């Protein structure tokens, strides 16, 4: 089986990207996922595990944690979703995305067993489920034993197909906000209850700072039920921002293991929160005697970590392009704050596209303001993309759009329109969905038009 054949096999399953629920309950739920893994010999077991759930910052927090572990000389596997350009990006060994050959090899090794499980009556296996199983198989069969696996939840927590561990070393809960309310709950507290479902007996639970006190109470209740240990980052650690520029930001972290001065390349104040949560996780595991990583290795691991599409700055055709997949109102608020911080006196042309389940009005409410020059509504090639005309209508109805939003039918067309109207030192900001960001990056970089200032691991 070559890489293209492996892709074709993956895509033969229902495309439920990160969404493991149907209208009335789980589509590929835990019984289905556990049956598939049992067929493969339970490859998820036997490796130290850090499991990360939350509404915002999961991917960044996972990346920070994995980068620190790898810098500490520990063989580390990282599983995140979604990807920008290739499934290969979802699986990394020591911060290097797996190769096409590794992907194809792993898929060829599990294909017959996956088919056997499907043929046995397990008809709910999804693309995301097979990718998750593939990751665990690659971890188990790696030439060098994997010391730690860092796993990002796809959706929710309790019923997510990654939540297959009877034991784990740490459960990390990043900031929680209103998302997927038709599935996870109508309040942040209800959503927190779902996210806290990844907490298992006696594991460490690391809770990132939360805006809603109800979310902390819900997580605390689950921690008590599981006889877990809660590390509340907001209560146990103090963060002080020291400096920031377009190349990164520095901060001081003080707590049970501090103080420590740290620097990260990722921009935006929210990334400091994600980095602090990652460091709290490593320190807590170290205090339990589960790993040996020095503060110097922590600092180097943080500074090396990078994710594309998260306030990524590129220069193209004489203009600055900021690519950020802000997909909810809180992410959009963080994006708006970062734009104001780094480009306080410059106008912004927004290229925005979202999926059907997103609240575009709430997102735009955070982005609209004196800095906003115009907005161009667009769509990605994803089947769940909201129609650009509907985006424009919702923005107009909200009363926060500057003039009539422009409407385009593709990201490429939207970029052309943005460059055509950009003047002087105008900023072009592509946002709303990682799918939109991915198509914009592919267009800019494939045409050799853009020079990115951020570096990340690449497939």
Candidate from 6-10, 13-17, 74-78, 344-348 with smallest mean pLDDT: 13-17
Task: Verify that 329 and 248 share a domain, yes or no.
Answer: no
State the pLDDT confidence band at 17, using cuts at 50, 70 and 90: very low
Whole-angstrom Cα distance, residue 274 to residue 289? 23
Task: Verify that 251 and 329 share a domain, yes or no.
Answer: no
Task: Verify that 322 and 296 share a domain, yes or no.
Answer: no
* pLDDT at position 375: 95
Candidate from 74-78, 320-324, 393-397 with smallest mean pLDDT: 393-397
- Answer with the one of 304, 334, 359 that is the final residue of a domain: 304
pLDDT over threshold 60, residue 184: no
State the pLDDT confidence band at 200, using cuts at 50, 70 and 90: very high
- Answer with the one of 248, 270, 304 that is the final residue of a domain: 304
- pLDDT tens digits, 429-439: 999 989 999 99
Max mean pLDDT range (18-27, 95-104, 390-399): 95-104
Candidate from 170-174, 450-454, 455-459 with smallest mean pLDDT: 455-459
Domain assignment present for residue 235? The answer is: yes
pLDDT over threshold 90, residue 78: yes
Task: Verify that 270 and 352 share a domain, yes or no.
Answer: no
* pLDDT at position 241: 94
Task: Verify that 288 and 386 share a domain, yes or no.
Answer: no
Domain assignment present for residue 276? The answer is: yes
CATH number for 447:
3.90.190.20
pLDDT over threshold 60, residue 20: no
- What φ, ψ does residue 259 adopt, rounded to 5°? -85, 160
- pLDDT tens digits, 105-143: 999 999 999 999 999 999 899 999 999 999 999 999 999
Task: Verify that 398 and 288 share a domain, yes or no.
Answer: no
* pLDDT at position 400: 60
Higher pLDDT, 178 or 72: 72
pLDDT over threshold 60, residue 25: no
Choose among 283, 151, 157: nearest CA to 226. 157
- Answer with the one of 287, 304, 321 that is the final residue of a domain: 304
Domain assignment present for residue 459? The answer is: no
* pLDDT at position 190: 82
* pLDDT at position 399: 63
* pLDDT at position 186: 52
* pLDDT at position 383: 85
Q: What is the average pLDDT score of the chain? A: 90
- pLDDT tens digits, 155-181: 889 999 999 999 999 999 999 874 544
Domain assignment present for residue 457? The answer is: no
Q: Give the structural domain span for 233.
A: 3-304
Choose among 186, 187, 158, 152: nearest CA to 172. 152
pLDDT over threshold 80, residue 185: no
Taking a C-beta distance cutoff of 8 angstroms, is the pair 26, 146 a contact?
A: no
Task: Verify that 299 and 341 share a domain, yes or no.
Answer: no
Number of structural domains found in the chain: 2
Whole-angstrom Cα distance, residue 373 to residue 367? 11
How is the beta sheet containing 91-93 ordered, strand by strand?
96-97, 91-93, 76-79, 148-152, 48-53, 170-173, 204-207, 229-232
CATH number for 93:
3.40.1190.10
State the pLDDT confidence band at 19, using cuts at 50, 70 and 90: very low
pLDDT over threshold 60, residue 239: yes
pLDDT-above-70 percentage for the chain: 91
Task: Verify that 373 and 288 share a domain, yes or no.
Answer: no
pLDDT over threshold 50, residue 22: no
- pLDDT tens digits, 361-411: 889 999 988 889 999 999 999 888 999 999 999 988 766 656 678 999 999
Whole-angstrom Cα distance, residue 172 to residue 60? 12
- pLDDT tens digits, 241-299: 999 888 899 999 999 987 999 999 998 888 999 999 999 999 999 999 999 999 999 99
Domain assignment present for residue 458? The answer is: no
Domain assignment present for residue 446? The answer is: yes
For the whole prediction, is pTM greater than 0.85?
Answer: yes
Task: Verify that 138 and 262 share a domain, yes or no.
Answer: yes
Using alpha carbons only, give the angle 427, 428, 429 rounded to the nearest 5 degrees: 110
pLDDT over threshold 70, residue 8: yes
Task: Verify that 397 and 251 share a domain, yes or no.
Answer: no
Q: Encode the chain in three state secondary structure.
A: CCHHHHHHHHCCCCCCCCCCEECCEECCCHHHHHHHHHHCCCCCCCCEEEEEECCCCHHHHHHHHHHHHHHCCCCEEEECCCCCCCHHHHEEECCEECCHHHHHHHHHHHHHHHHHHHHCCCCCCCHHHHHHHHHHHHHHCCCCCCCEEEEECCCCCCCCCCCCCCCCCEEEECCCCCCCHHHHCCCHHHHHHHHHHHCCCCCEEEECCCCCHHHHHHHHHHHHHCCCEEEEHHHHCEEEEEEEECCEEEEEEECCCCCEEEEECCCCHHHHHHHHHHHHHHHHHHHCCCCCCCHHHHHHHHHHCCCCCCCEEEEECCEEEEEECCCCHHHHHHHHHHHHHHCCCCCEEEEECCECCCCHHHHHHHHCCCCEEEEEECCCCCCCECCHHHHHHHHHHHCCCCCCCEECCCHHHHHHHHHHHCCCCCEEEEECCHHHHHHHHHHHHHCCCEEECCCCCCC
Higher pLDDT, 356 or 63: 63
State the pLDDT confidence band at 27, using cuts at 50, 70 and 90: low
Buried b (16+ CB within 10 A) or exposed e, 95-126: bebbebebbbbbbeebbeebeebbeeebebbb
pLDDT over threshold 90, residue 240: yes
pLDDT over threshold 60, residue 448: no
């Amino acid at each position: 089986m070559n890489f293209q054949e492996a892709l074709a096999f993956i895509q033969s399953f229902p495309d439920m990207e990160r969404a493991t629920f149907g209208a009335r309950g789980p589509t590929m739920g835990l019984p289905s996922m556990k049956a598939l893994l049992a067929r493969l010999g339970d490859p998820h077991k036997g490796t130290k595990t850090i499991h990360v759930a939350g509404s915002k910052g999961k991917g960044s927090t996972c990346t920070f944690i994995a980068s620190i572990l790898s810098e500490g000389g520990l063989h580390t596997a990282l599983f995140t979703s979604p990807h920008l350009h290739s499934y290969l990006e979802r699986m990394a060994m020591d911060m290097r995305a797996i190769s096409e050959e590794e992907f194809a090899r792993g898929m060829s090794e599990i294909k017959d067993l996956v088919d056997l499980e499907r043929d046995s009556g397990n008809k709910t296996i999804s693309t995301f489920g097979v990718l998750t199983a593939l990751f665990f198989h690659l971890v188990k069969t790696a030439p060098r034993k994997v010391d730690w696996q860092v796993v990002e939840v796809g959706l929710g927590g309790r019923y997510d197909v990654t939540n297959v561990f009877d034991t784990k070393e740490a459960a990390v809960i990043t900031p929680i906000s209103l998302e997927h309310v038709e599935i996870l709950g109508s309040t942040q507290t209800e959503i927190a209850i779902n996210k806290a479902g990844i907490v298992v007996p006696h594991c460490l639970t690391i809770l990132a700072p939360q805006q809603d006190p109800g979310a902390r109470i819900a997580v605390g209740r689950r921690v008590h039920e599981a006889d877990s240990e809660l590390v509340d980052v907001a209560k146990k650690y103090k963060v002080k921002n020291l400096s920031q520029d377009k190349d990164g930001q520095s901060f001081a972290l003080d707590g049970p293991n501090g103080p420590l001065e740290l620097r990260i390349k990722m921009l935006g104040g929210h990334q400091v929160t994600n980095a602090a949560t990652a460091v709290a996780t490593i320190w807590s595991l170290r205090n339990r005697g589960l790993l040996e990583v020095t503060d110097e290795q922590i600092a180097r691991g943080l500074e090396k970590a990078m994710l594309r599409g998260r306030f990524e700055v590129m220069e193209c055709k004489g203009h600055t392009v900021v690519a950020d997949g802000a997909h909810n109102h809180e992410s959009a608020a963080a994006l708006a704050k970062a734009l104001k911080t780094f480009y306080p006196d410059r106008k912004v042309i927004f290229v925005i596209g979202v999926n059907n389940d997103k609240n575009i009005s709430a997102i735009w409410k955070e982005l609209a303001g004196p800095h906003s020059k115009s907005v161009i509504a667009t769509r990605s090639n994803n089947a769940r993309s909201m129609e650009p005309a509907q985006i424009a209508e919702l923005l107009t109805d909200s009363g926060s759009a500057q003039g009539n939003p422009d409407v385009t039918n593709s990201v490429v067309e939207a970029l052309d329109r943005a460059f055509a109207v950009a003047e002087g030192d105008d900023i072009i900001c592509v946002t709303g969905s990682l799918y939109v960001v991915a198509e914009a990056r592919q267009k800019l970089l494939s045409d050799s038009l853009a020079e990115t200032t951020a570096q990340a691991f690449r497939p």
